[in-house]
């Protein structure tokens, strides 16, 4: 494909259940969003002796120039995710041709819907269109970029969701084996899926996420295991009262809830799925302490308006709420919930009804008049 323009697409994700379980080698049940990030990569012509990548974005005024030997700290802002991918690829021994990259995204930024992973995965797929490493390798490279170049100590949830997601499908991910099992998630006139963006800040580089990760590592050490995945489901009971015990309880009970929720989704038992989601939210609020008053108010309002299940999704401290509801309740939530939240003194949230969307793709960029993209999953 050298010399031809390449277009890669990677979606954001919404996690149905299983929060902060990824770096504890547990389970999660995400879907790919129908919103995503498109990257058009135009490698320099053969013979042009310029290894630099020049990245632009429809949403950003600045142009980001990435040198061949870029190091963590060289590039900040949105460009750090692009530069981090180039850095991770070169560190892993991949050859990258210089050229231009243009980014265009429909994933809301800062909403807990993985705009960063969508950007990383699209950039990596575009830059490796010739070599086509497998998708687990792409996910690991994206995580390396995010952890070691951007400086956010996140797990693999977002990247695996974006790379393996599919239409009308949820993914049961086991972060110990890295097995990704599709489960049908078809919505109909009975069951709807809403994502409610609180439009309040959400930022992983901030210390809270790192602090939760460190607490989990401490809990595992106190229990004498390498990761909380190796602990028995009631092992948290042996820890002394305090935050470490609560953090461990969240992770161990959350893993069990993910498996319950996956079984419920397979059986299309949305009542049971809702029970697991509600319990997950309480666990994030009370044990892991990653919710906010506004998010709790949105979850309560969704339940008051008839939701089957409602919980914060993503890393926490703001972001979005995911809701399953029957058609009548979904309409009531869409129509009435934003005013309820404004009346309670918070920013007006944005409610979107969605279906699980397609996963990441890469192919030749369309010509100006064709509009079609040859895609390869």
List contacts with ligand GAF (CB under 6 A). 15, 19-20, 22-23, 154-155, 157-158, 314-315
Q: Nearest approach, Cβ of 156 to ligand GAF (angstroms)? A: 6
Q: Torsions phi, psi of 167, nearest 5?
A: -60, 135
- Choose the catalytic residue: 158, 166, 174, 260: 158
Q: How far apart are CA 128 and CA 86, in angstroms?
A: 10
Q: Nearest approach, Cβ of 19 to ligand GAF (angstroms)? A: 4
Q: Nearest approach, Cβ of 206 to ligand GAF (angstroms)? A: 12
Q: Which is nearer to ligand GAF, 20 or 352 (CB)?
A: 20
Q: Nearest approach, Cβ of 315 to ligand GAF (angstroms)? A: 3
Q: Torsions phi, psi of 206, nearest 5?
A: -60, 155
Q: Which is nearer to ligand GAF, 22 or 40 (CB)?
A: 22
The question of whether 158 is a catalytic residue gets the answer yes
Q: Nearest approach, Cβ of 21 to ligand GAF (angstroms)? A: 6
Q: Which is nearer to ligand GAF, 198 or 329 (CB)?
A: 198
Q: Which is nearer to ligand GAF, 158 or 287 (CB)?
A: 158
Q: Which is nearer to ligand GAF, 15 or 37 (CB)?
A: 15
Q: Nearest approach, Cβ of 296 to ligand GAF (angstroms)? A: 17
Q: Tell me, letter by letter, the H, E, C secondary structure of the chain.
A: CCCCCEEEEEEEEEEEECCCCHHHCCEEEEEEEEEEEEEEEEECCCCCCCCCEEEEECCEEEEEEECCCCCCCCCCCCHHHHHHHHHHHHHCCCCCCCEEEEEEECCCCCCCCCHHHHHHHHHHHHHCCCCCCCHHHHHHHHHHHHHHHHCCCCCCHHHHHHHHCCCCEEEEEECCCCEEEEEECCCCCCEEEEEEECCCCCCCCCHHHHHHHHHHHHHHHHHCCCCHHHCCCCHHHHCCCCHHHHHHHHHHHHHHHHHHHHHHHHCCCHHHHHHHHHHHHHHHHHCCCCCCHHHHHHHHHHHHCCCCEEEEECCCCCCEEEEEEEHHHHHHHHHHHHHHHHHCCCCCCEEEEECCCCCCEEEECCCCCCCCCCCEC
Q: Which is nearer to ligand GAF, 253 or 331 (CB)?
A: 253
Active-site residue numbers? 158
């Amino acid at each position: 494909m050298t010399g031809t323009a390449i277009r890669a697409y990677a979606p954001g994700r919404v996690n149905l259940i299983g929060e902060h379980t990824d770096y504890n080698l547990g389970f999660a049940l995400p879907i790919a969003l129908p919103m995503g990030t498109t990257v058009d990569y135009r490698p320099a012509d053969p013979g042009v002796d310029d290894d630099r990548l020049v990245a632009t974005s429809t949403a950003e005024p600045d142009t980001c120039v990435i040198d061949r030997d870029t190091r963590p700290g060289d590039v900040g802002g949105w460009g750090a995710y692009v530069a981090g991918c180039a850095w991770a690829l070169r560190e892993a021994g991949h050859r990258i041709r210089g050229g231009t990259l243009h980014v265009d995204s429909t994933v809301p930024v800062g909403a807990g819907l993985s705009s960063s992973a969508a950007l990383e995965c699209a950039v990596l797929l575009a830059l490796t269109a010739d070599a086509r490493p497998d998708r687990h390798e792409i996910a690991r490279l994206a995580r390396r970029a995010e952890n070691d170049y951007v400086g956010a100590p996140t797990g693999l949830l977002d990247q695996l969701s974006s790379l393996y997601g599919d239409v009308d499908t949820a993914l049961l991910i086991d972060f110990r084996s890295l097995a990704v099992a599709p489960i049908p998630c078809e919505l109909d006139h009975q069951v709807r899926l809403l994502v409610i963006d609180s439009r309040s800040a959400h930022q992983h580089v901030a210390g809270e996420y790192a602090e939760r990760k460190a607490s989990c590592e401490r809990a595992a050490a106190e229990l004498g295991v390498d990761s909380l995945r190796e602990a028995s489901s009631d092992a948290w009971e042996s820890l002394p009262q305090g935050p470490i015990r609560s953090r461990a309880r969240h992770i161990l009970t959350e893993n069990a809830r993910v498996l319950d929720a996956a079984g419920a989704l397979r059986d299309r038992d949305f009542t049971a799925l809702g029970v697991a989601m509600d319990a997950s939210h309480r666990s994030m609020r009370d044990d892991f302490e990653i919710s906010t008053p506004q998010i709790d108010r949105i979850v309560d309002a969704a339940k008051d308006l008839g939701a089957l299940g409602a919980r914060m999704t993503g890393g926490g401290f703001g972001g979005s709420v995911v809701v399953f509801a029957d058609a009548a309740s979904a309409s009531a939530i869409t129509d009435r919930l934003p005013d309820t939240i404004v009346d309670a003194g918070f920013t007006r949230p944005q409610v979107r009804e969605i279906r699980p969307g397609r996963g990441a793709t890469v192919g030749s960029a369309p010509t100006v008049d064709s509009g079609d993209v040859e895609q390869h999953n």
